[in-house]
Structure 1
Amino acid sequence: MEAQLTTGDWTDPQRAKVKLGDYAAKWISERTNLRPRTVEIYTGLLRRHVVPHLGNAPLSKIDTAMVREWRATLTGNGVGASEVAKAYRFLRAVLMTAADDRIIPRNPCRIRGAGEEEPEERPVLTVAKVFELADLVPVRLRALILLATFASLRWGEVAALRRMDVDLNAGTVSVRQQHVELDTGELLVGPPKSRAGVRTIAFPSAIIPALQDHLDDFTDPEDDALIFTGARGGTLRRSNFRRAADWAKNTTKIGFPGLHFHDLRHTGNTIAASSGATLRDLMERMGHDSVRAAMIYQHPIAEADRKIANAMNGKIAEVLPSKASDH
């Protein structure tokens, strides 16, 4: 023990007897900076994938071989590759803390590439298909489809937009907050998922008429009124949107069965990337963290961002000339 103390390899034998399931649950509860949705995700991973296999194992007994066997068991039970990677990253983070606290000598999660995800390739719609889908859904949802796509917005971001967030004269939308729906059904309103998520985005002028019509017909006049709401004026939830838009039927009708709402953002990102914008410009537009640690949403729209919107406008005009000439 004296030698271990000298070399820094000493671990606490009493704390090492703690069961992984108990330690991981405490690990989640002690991270007060986690977002509610992240807590929900971690708790689910712990309940579904960690506790049934490793929950009763003392921390001191968990080694790399056991972790490797656990991971293989999950895969063998039909758990998807992405879910297995998430569970592994969660376990690795928990045990890294145990190692940092000198409860165990080192983190046993040492399987190369086990935490990496290779998500399936998602579909990219053509501009014509975006407008086709927008024309199929009820008119009160048409502008939502167009803005989510051509401003590269996440569902929670577009659902939280208020009248004051859209400037039709400047052709911009400001993302200040987002809606987060928990598995319990609770709806939370908070800041975007990262500091870079607070941003102001230029959108193509071709969609301004649709936005103007929507604001006139479906949005209350107050500055803080939600732009997109349910048929009765309530907060628009993802499930309500899917039903109202007849999403499964209409996405199949345009030739994209199984399309996710997030694929609209993916489509917008792809179109933006094809405009020749730099990586930094794209990351700012998409609301991703970059070398610039923080974003100020009031920051003026960069010239490069306006070029992105203009390039989108040109692509829309090529496919649907009437759409770009309406304004």
Structure 2
Amino acid sequence: MPILDPLRPVLKRLCAFKQSDAPLLVGPRGGFLTTATVRDATSWDQVVADLGLPNLTRHGLRHTGATWLADAGVPLHVLQEILGHASIETTRGYLHPDDRHLASAAEQANAFLSRDTPRNPSRRPRQGTGRGL
């Protein structure tokens, strides 16, 4: 399993005193780690309120992480595998362009439209011939 470099020392500490077949993370009574346990252990509601982001959810962070990976160039089919989605369309739904990307797209369009190349305004786009490419 690929591991991000900043997590390596943390995982090393967590594994230091565990047997190889023991779960890495467990709940407070030694059972499964649930989302409720994580929420309570991290004081999630208070943290997001303090940040002024009361609507931020852990699942929202999953969307953010997927978007960042896509922005970094990770292919969609790889993101699908990382997120455990059966459908690539579900993975697409996790990707959200932010204002920077929208502004960048507008800048690219403006640059294209303002190129110093001769244009012939009377020329119209070619119509399809119905004969394929």
TM-score, with normalisation over the residues of structure 2? Answer: 0.54
Report how far residue 287 of structure 1 moved: 1.8
Select which of 269, 273, 276 maps to 2:66.
Answer: 269
**Pick from 4, 16, 23: which aligns with 1:226?**
23
Deviation at 1:256, TM superposition (A): 2.1
2:118: which partner in 1?
none
2:80 counterpart (277, 283, 290): 283
- Contact 1:280–1:290 (8 Å) recurs in 2: no
**What count of residue pairs does the alignment treat as equivalent?**
88
Partner residue of 2:48?
251
Q: Secondary structure at the match of 1:222?
A: coil
Moved >6 Å (runs of 4+): none
Is this contact kept in 2: 1:248–1:258, CA < 8 A? no
> RCO greater where, 1 or 2, for CA within 8 Å and sep 6 or more?
1
Partner of 2:10: 210
Identify if the C-alpha distance between structure 1 residues 279 and 253 changes in structure 2 by more than 3 Å, giving closer, same or farther. Answer: same
> Equivalents in 1 of 2:29, 2:9: separation in Å?
24
CA displacement, residues 42-87 of structure 1 (integer Å, 9 cap, x when unaligned)? xxxxxxxxxxxxxxxxxxxxxxxxxxxxxxxxxxxxxxxxxxxxxx
How far is 1:246 from its partner? 0.9
Query: What percentage of residue pairs aligned between the two structures are identical?
Result: 34
State how far apart, in whole Å, the 2-side matches of 1:252 and 1:264 are: 15
Amino acid at match of 1:273: A
Q: Distance in 1 between matches of 2:14 and 2:52?
A: 26
**Distance in 1 of aligned mates of 2:46 and 2:84:** 31
Q: What is the alpha-carbon root mean square deviation over aligned residues?
A: 2.3
Gaps of 5+ in 2: 89-133
Which structure shows the bigger proportion of residues in strand conformation?
1
Q: CA deviation at 1:290?
A: 4.9
- The residue correspondences of 1:148-187 to structure 2 (distance < 5 A) are 172=1
Check 1:223–1:250 CA distance in 2 against 1; reply closer, same or farther (3 A cut).
same
Q: Deviations over 1:95-142 (max 9, x none)?
A: xxxxxxxxxxxxxxxxxxxxxxxxxxxxxxxxxxxxxxxxxxxxxxxx
Q: Distance in 1 between matches of 2:34 and 2:78?
A: 30
